Amino acid sequence: MQVFGKTQDNLWTLVAAPTIWGFHFLFSYFLAAYRCAPNDDIFNTIGGTRAAIAGVTAVCLLLILLIARRAWREWRADGGGYSNNQDTPEARERFLEFSTLLLAALSFAAVVFETLPVLVFWDCR
Amino acid sequence: MTRPGTIAAGLSGAVLTGCQGAQSAFDPAGVEAERVLTLFWIMLAGGTAIWIVVIGVSYYAARGKSGPYSDRSGIRLIVWGGCVFPAVVLAGLLWWGLTMMPELRRAADGPTIAVSAERFWWRVAYAVEGEPGVIRNLPRGGVPSANEIWIPLGKRTEILLSSPDVIHSFWVPPLAGKMDAIPGRVNRLVLEPTRPGVFNGACAEYCGTAHTYMGFRVVVVPEAEFEAYVASQALPAATTDGSGARLFVQNGCAACHTVRGTAADGDVGPDLTHVASRRTIAAGLLPTTVENFAAFIRSAEHIKPGVEMPAFGILPEEEITAIAQWLGKLE
Ligand SMILES: [Cu+2]
C-alpha cells in the first residue's frame, strides 16, 4: 500500500530485522550444538559447519542492509525528523521508519558479533 | 593512629587478605587464572573510566549549561557515545576474549584425570584409559581417590568432568575458570599450574543441601613427585587386619566404601584405601585426624548437613574408635 508516495510501515516492517537476528542466532547455535553434540571428537575440524554459518550470515546481513536502506530512504524522504509527538499519520510513519532503521543497525551489529566465533574456533573444543 | 587511619588500615587489611591465599582468583597460580585476572583488571579500568565519564556528563547536565541543546548535537552524542563507542568497545572485548579461548583449550601434554562430581564429594581417578577426545561418560578404571587432586607442575593436565546425579561445577580459582560437571556429558578442563602449592577448589553450582561443603584440594608438585604419588595411591591399603578393619566390614561400611586389600568393595562413597594420606575428609571440610574420623562416623549429618552417609551413632563407642584408629593408619 502506498501512502505519501511511499510504502507504509507497520509493526511487521519494524520487527523484520530483529527477526532475522533471532533466526541467525538460533540457526548458528543449534547447528554448532548439533554438530558438536556427540562430544567424542572434539579435536576434529568443523569446516562445513563454519562455512554454513558464514553463508547464512552473509544472507542475513544482506537482508538487514536492504531493510535499513528502505527505512533510511523513506525516513530521509520526509526530511528525517526525530520529534514524533503529534497524533498524525505522518508522525507515526516517521517514527516507524526511524525505529526500523535503528533496529536494523542493532541487528546488523548483533549478527556480526554472533558470527565472530566462526573465525576463531575450528573444532568442538 | 588517627581514627580514619585505623579504619583505612583495617579496610585495606581486610581487602588484601581477601586477595591472597589458596582460594583467591587474585593470587593466580595457573595460566588460565592469570589470563582471567588480566581480563578482570582491564574490565575494571575500562568500567571505572566509563563510570567517571557518565557521572561527569550527568554532573554537567545538572549543574553546567542550562539552555536546551540542538537536535543535531543531541543526536551526535547518542550516535557516537551510545552506538559507535559501545559497539566498537564490545567488539574489541569480544574478539579478545574469543581469541584467548583456543589457546586455553589447547591439547594437554600431561596426565588425564577423571573427576566425577557427586553429591557432595569428588570422585577422582588418575591415569584413566580411553583418551584422546572426550566421550559421553567418564573413562573407567584408573587409580581411585577422592577430594584431593594432585597435578604436576608446568604440565597441562586434562581434567575430564562429569556427574552421575545433578549439575555441579568444578572451580579452583587460583588455577583456572570454572567448568560444569554435567550428567551424561564429559566436559574438559585443562589446568596448567605455574607454581607449586596447595589450592582450594569448590563446587560452584548449587547441587543440594551440602553444596557449600563440597570442596576439594588441588596439590601442585614437581612431575616426579606426582608420578610417585599416583604409584603409591595404586597400592593396596597399608594395614588390612585388626579389629578396625573387621568392624568396618561387619558394620556395613563396606557396602559403600572400598578399601583395597580388604573385603570392602562398595562404590557409593569415597575410596578409603589411602584416606589418611589426604589432607581433609568429608570433601575439604575437616582436617584428617583420628578424632575427626570418629566424629564423622558417629554423626556425619551433624558435621555435614545433607550428607549422603548415614550416622553410625548406634555403634558402641569402642567400635567407632577402633574403626577411626584403623582409618588413621591408611596412608
Ligand atoms: Cu556440587
Q: Is residue B155 part of a domain?
A: yes
For chain B, the 3-state helix, strand and coil shares in percent, each to the nearest 5, are 40, 20, 40
Same domain, B112 and B150: yes
pLDDT in tens, A73-114: 988 887 777 777 788 888 888 888 989 999 999 999 999 999
Same domain, B170 and B91: yes
- Chain A residues bordering chain B (beta-carbon distance below 8 Å): 38-43, 82-83, 105, 109, 112-113, 116-117, 120-122, 125
Domain that holds residue B139: 16-220
Pull the grid cell for residue B73: 548535537
Q: Is residue B22 part of a domain?
A: yes
Q: What are the φ/ψ torsions at residue B151 (nearest 5 degrees)?
A: -135, 150
Query: What percentage of chain B carries pLDDT values higher than 90?
Result: 67
The predicted structure's pLDDT at residue B16:
52
Task: Give dist(CA A6, CA A13) in Å, integer.
Answer: 13
Q: Is residue B273 part of a domain?
A: yes
Sheet of strand B168-171, all strands in order from the earlier edge strand to the far edge: B148-152, B215-221, B197-203, B168-171, B179-181
- Following DSSP, what letter does each residue of B80-95 receive, concatenated? IIIIIHHHHHHHHHHH
Same domain, B210 and B249: no
The predicted structure's pLDDT at residue A5:
54
- Following DSSP, what letter does each residue of B127-176 receive, concatenated? S-SS-SS--SSPPP-SEEEESEEEEETTS-EEEEEEBSSS-EEEE-TTT-
Extents of the domains making up chain A: 7-120
CATH number at residue B32: 2.60.40.420
Per-residue pLDDT at A25 exceeds 50: yes
User: Worst-scoring range by mean pLDDT, A36-40, B48-52, B292-296?
Assistant: A36-40
- Following DSSP, what letter does each residue of B272-327 receive, concatenated? -TTGGGSSEETTTTEE--HHHHHHHHH-HHHHSTT-SS---TTS-HHHHHHHHHHH
Per-residue pLDDT at B218 exceeds 60: yes
The predicted structure's pLDDT at residue B286:
94
Cα B130 to Cα B108, B139, B160, B269: the distances in Å are 15, 6, 11, 24
Same domain, B201 and B258: no
The predicted structure's pLDDT at residue B130:
62
* Residues sharing a CB contact under 8 Å with residue A49, sequence separation 6 or more, in sequence order: A31, A32, A35
In chain A, where does DSSP find H-type helix? 11-36, 47-77, 89-120
User: Worst-scoring range by mean pLDDT, B82-96, B112-126, B148-162?
Assistant: B82-96
Q: Is residue B5 part of a domain?
A: no
Task: Give dist(CA B176, CA B47) in Å, integer.
Answer: 23
- The pTM is what? 0.85
The 10 Å Cβ neighbour count of residue B124 is: 24
Considering CB atoms only, which of B94, B95, B134 is closest to A39? B134
The predicted structure's pLDDT at residue B246:
93
Considering CB atoms only, which of B71, B107, B134 is closest to A40? B134
Average pLDDT, rounded, for chain B:
89
State which residue of chain B sits closest to A120, comparing Cα positions: B99
Same domain, B252 and B204: no
Same domain, B136 and B247: no
The predicted structure's pLDDT at residue B6:
54
CA dihedral B136, B140, B146, B147 (to 10 degrees): -20
Q: Is residue B24 part of a domain?
A: yes
Same domain, B317 and B179: no
Q: Is residue B2 part of a domain?
A: no
State which residue of chain B sits closest to A103, comparing Cα positions: B83
The predicted structure's pLDDT at residue A60:
97
10 Å CB burial of residue A35 (0-12, 13-18, 19+) is middle
Q: Which residues in chain B have Cβ-Cβ distances shorter than 8 Å to A43?
A: 107, 132-133
The predicted structure's pLDDT at residue B13:
52
Per-residue pLDDT at B297 exceeds 50: yes
Number of domains in chain B: 2
Query: What percentage of chain A carries pLDDT values higher than 90?
Result: 47
Q: Is B61 on the interface with A (CB under 8 A)?
A: no
Q: Is residue B230 part of a domain?
A: no
Q: Is residue B236 part of a domain?
A: no
The predicted structure's pLDDT at residue A78:
73
Same domain, B210 and B99: yes
The predicted structure's pLDDT at residue A120:
87
Task: Give dist(CA A89, CA A95) in Å, integer.
Answer: 10
Pull the grid cell for residue B59: 554532573
β-strand B197-203 against B168-171: which pairing, if any? antiparallel
pLDDT in tens, B60-97: 888 876 778 788 888 888 889 888 899 899 999 899 98
Per-residue pLDDT at A1 exceeds 50: no
* Placement of cell 581417590 in the chain: B145
Query: Is there a cis peptide before residue B120, judged by omega within 30 degrees of 0?
Result: yes
